């Protein structure tokens, strides 16, 4: 039992040291106050408290996105545009191998609102478009997923 307590103490100490170092860096970078305040708060937490805090943020994020989805129905024209743009993409190594490059190639913010994008309203369709693209060009890439 003593070993478990000592291990917990040592992991908490390491976590807090890492977070204090991170706090020092964000202050040196003159980050916005909200970031500094958040880092100060986290640097005082134990590892278990931080994990609970992260879970609470995830749950809150899910609730916000769920509420957004209830109030903003899926638009067929936007779904059609996602698949239309995917179907027109040619093979590109970077587009194939990077979700960021594929998102840039489809450019969803040019035809959907920033709020829809940030709240993942069309995420399942974008992920399906990624799968379709990768299936179309997997022989070019030479990788089976």
pLDDT in tens, 18-61: 999 999 999 999 999 999 999 999 999 999 999 999 999 999 99
Enter the pTM of the model.
0.72
pLDDT in tens, 81-126: 999 999 999 998 888 889 999 999 999 999 999 999 999 999 999 9
Contact (CB, 8 A) for 118 and 64: no
Identify the band that residue 145 occupies on the pLDDT scale cut at 50, 70 and 90: very low
**DSSP character string of 65-87:** HHHHHHHSPPPHHHHHHHHHHHH
- The CA R_g of the chain, rounded to the nearest whole Å, is 21
Q: What distance in Å separates the CA atoms of residue 127 and residue 8, rounded to the nearest whole number? A: 39
CA dihedral 30, 35, 40, 41 (to 10 degrees): 170
């Amino acid at each position: 039992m003593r070993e478990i307590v000592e291990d917990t103490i040592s992991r908490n100490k390491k976590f807090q040291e890492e977070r204090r170092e991170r706090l020092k860096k964000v202050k040196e970078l003159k980050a916005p106050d909200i970031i500094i305040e958040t880092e100060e708060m986290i640097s005082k937490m134990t590892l278990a408290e931080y994990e609970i805090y992260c879970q609470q943020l995830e749950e809150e994020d899910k609730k916000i996105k769920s509420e957004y989805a209830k109030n903003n129905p899926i638009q067929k024209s936007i779904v059609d545009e996602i698949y239309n743009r995917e179907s027109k993409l040619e093979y590109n190594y970077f587009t194939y191998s990077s979700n960021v490059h594929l998102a840039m190639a489809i450019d969803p913010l040019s035809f959907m609102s920033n709020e829809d994008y940030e709240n993942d309203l069309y995420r399942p369709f974008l992920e399906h478009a990624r799968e379709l693209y990768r299936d179309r060009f997997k022989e070019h890439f030479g990788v089976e997923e």
